Structure 1
Amino acid sequence: MFLEWNVRTLQWYADAEEYTGFFRALAAEIAPSIAGVQSLCDLGCGPALFDFEIAPLVRSVECADTSEAALAFVEKRARALGLHNIFPVLADCEYPSGRWDVAFMSFFGSRHLDRYLPLCKKLIAVVSQSSDAALFPEKDRGYVRNTAQNTAKYLDLRGIAYKLVWKRQEFGQPFSSLEEARGYVKLYAPRVCAEEAELFLKQRIVKTGSTAFPWYFPRKKTVGIFFINGGLK
């Protein structure tokens, strides 16, 4: 989904991580491949939820994004967690500059991964493949999402070697109330009429039994994790 980061969308994303542990599981999958790494840059980091999980294993983590709201969220959360090796950086990651042991990307930049290879010793990219359910009415989606399969074809055509690991993990959206769920659908599907939005809500939402998040849009998400050697030595 296309996200414009603001206080509300950042909190929803953080709530999804708290409830499902998606990025925690992702970090556990990736951790063995970055043991002993000195520097990592998360390009297009958004709220950098992966970085908070991986930071204890890395000396320095740069979190780069064009969104000042996202970077403010990152800085505040890093302070709250006592993580002093996370550094928010305001930068256009479509045209990055810098040198790192690891360049990391999740749901960003996967159409042209080769442009990032000269900047790092290793590139790790998480690319969506499929989800078993939608978080908002799909007819309102305004863009064509890239897929892990297309990324693999792109790399194959250019003769770029990679390791690809598939992972399937719960990553839906929890809510504190039905009204919050209605606000979520309205924000991400603004052109859907009230009747359609209510029908979507009725068909998709489930009760959880959780005090903090009693309502939930369940969704299992399949991603491909690409491990590629970069050009730096």
Structure 2
Amino acid sequence: MFQWNEEMVRFMRDASEYSDYHRRLVQWMLPDLHPVDHICDAGCGLGYLSLALSPYVRRVTAADRSQEALSVLRENCTRRAVQNIDIRPGDIRADSPDTAYDAMVFCFFGTIEEVAAIARDQCRGTVFVFKKHYATHRFSVGAHPTGHESFRAAAEWLAERGIPFEAAELELEIGQPLRSTEEARRFFRLYSRDEDKSVITDEFLRGRLIETGRTDFPLYLPHKRPVGCLKFSSKSL
């Protein structure tokens, strides 16, 4: 089970606010969203996708188990005067809404089988699923498998069960802005799957980082993330 900590929250917050990644995910969803919709962002994390969705729908329910992550969303809702996001702490599997959601989005959330079970119970409309579309871990020195269900595996699961779906492949920039080389080293030590962290050398960092010319984030770790996008109707489950 993924657990946020203070440093992870800070890094993800910086990356989310530096890029237009979540806005571009929403752009792919927009043709299937309506102003009257109530959508659930399942496993919303820090809630930046919920914030990007909020101008386009009547209501967003942002659900996550992590109070640390949800505290960022609460702060952003207050700071941005966003009033149509309901924050739902806890495990989404354990508590169904009184009225089914018009749509649900699962961004890097569990397996497609878990998604289908939740959507069958809680959604009456479109289900959006975003999956990693790359095989190796992006913040390691060595080649380490991601260990997560792939976009292709999820699409195959739907196809094998005769569930109609639409698919797309996006490549979106969501790199990491950094305040110093030492912060970059801490970032790689935190996320690298290399057992021997001594491989994160100054030479390695120089090869991965670019200078931005900014005073707040003088360094940047670029990363174009391949994302597999799936959408289908909960009525077909």
The TM-score, its normalising length taken from structure 2, stands at 0.87
Distance 1:133 1:43, change over 3 A: closer
Q: Is the 8 A contact 2:47 2:73 kept in 1?
A: yes
Match of 1:115 among 114, 117, 136: 117
Measured in 1, the distance between the counterparts of 2:40 and 2:22 equals 16
Say if 2:212 is the partner of 1:208. yes
Alpha-carbon RMSD: 2.4
1:11 Cα deviation (Å)?
A: 2.1
| 1:1-233 pair list within 5 angstroms | 4-95=3-94, 97-98=96-97, 99-112=100-113, 113-118=115-120, 119-120=122-123, 121-130=125-134, 134-138=138-142, 144-189=147-192, 192-198=195-201, 199-231=203-235
| Partner amino acid, structure 1, of 2:217 | F
Gaps of 5+ in 2: none
Q: Deviation digits for residues 22-60 of structure 1, max 9, x if unmatched?
A: 111111221222022421111111011111111011111
Counterpart contact for 2:62–2:86, Cα < 8 Å = yes
Letter in structure 1 aligned against 2:18: Y
Give the AA of the match of 1:63: A
1:130 is paired with a residue whose SS is coil
Q: Compute the displacement of 1:105 (Å).
A: 1.0
Q: Rate the CA distance shift 1:190–1:164 in 2: closer, same or farther, 3 A.
A: closer
On the 8 A contact 2:136/2:144 being kept in 1, the answer is: no
% identity of equivalent residues? 27
| Aligned counterparts of 1:138 and 1:86: Cα–Cα separation in 2 | 40
Q: Distance in 1 between matches of 2:90 and 2:214?
A: 38
What is the SS of the residue equivalent to 1:71? helix
TM-score, structure 1 as length reference: 0.89
Report deviation, 1:194.
Answer: 4.6
Q: CA deviation at 1:132?
A: 9.0
